[in-house]
A and B are shown apart, each in its own frame.
Chain A
């Protein structure tokens, strides 16, 4: 079985401060991990993925995420938040032995000017 948890429904951060959006996962095989962002009235947009290799993954718009196998986490980070980063963020996981992605329930990020 596979599952993913985003423990925070809402994250608020001041513009210019670092941001973190948390994600933990559970799979029986090796995890393939993804982050997506959703802006109002739009579909999800891919930010970054971890398949194998370096635990620190860099993605679009200055975002990065760190794969931590021992903590089964894949937190999304950005060194300096922008107001335009305000959106709904989804973590997703796919077990290496499965065909499908499982999505978390989403975290709404608000960057305060």
Chain B
């Protein structure tokens, strides 16, 4: 979905380095999410934010932090990267309006992160 842009698309780095993955959206959605995808495990939620002042931990937040700089920007940081954080990372957005506030999430094309 071109309305959700993730940078970089690919990154190779070394153990112990600090890494930031960035996500920006032009959909005007208030909610943003970070997931990681591992083969055979599906997608697991790392953090989510329902507005600029609202940040919540997901299923697997240990070793990660996030910042919601504006409604349109949500970044994910790995403070000290380790090899088992090698994965495909996705940012997603959704709108809180509509029937029961349940709207589909719209995904970026992902960041493939390799930690050596």
Contact = CB atoms under 8 A, between A and B. Distances in A.
Contact of B104 (A46, A96, A104): A46
A46 B94 CA distance: 11
Nearest to A48: B104
A6 B102 CA distance: 22
A48 to B, nearest CB: 9
A110 B90 CA distance: 24
B2 to A, nearest CB: 10
A99 interface: yes
Interface stretch (B14-22, B42-50, B61-69, B75-83): B42-50
Contacts of A42: 109-110
A100 interface: yes
A34 interface: yes
B109 A41 contact: yes
B48 A52 contact: no
A10 B40 CA distance: 11
A90 B104 contact: no
A99 B4 contact: no
B45 A34 contact: no
B102 A94 contact: yes
A63 interface: no
A105 interface: yes
Contact of B1 (A32, A34, A45, A99): A45
Given A99-B48, A99-B56, A51 B110 contact: no
B102 A105 contact: no
A105 B105 contact: no
By CB atoms of chain B within 10 A, which of A44, A46, A90, A94 has the most?
A: A44
Interface string A36-76: 10000111111001011000000000000000000000000
By CB atoms of chain A within 10 A, which of B43, B44, B50, B105 has the most?
A: B43
Contacts of A52: 99-100
Interface of A: 9, 32, 34, 36, 41-46, 49, 51-52, 90, 94, 96, 99-101, 103-106
Interface of B: 1, 4, 35, 40-45, 48, 50, 56, 58-59, 90, 92, 99-100, 102, 104-110
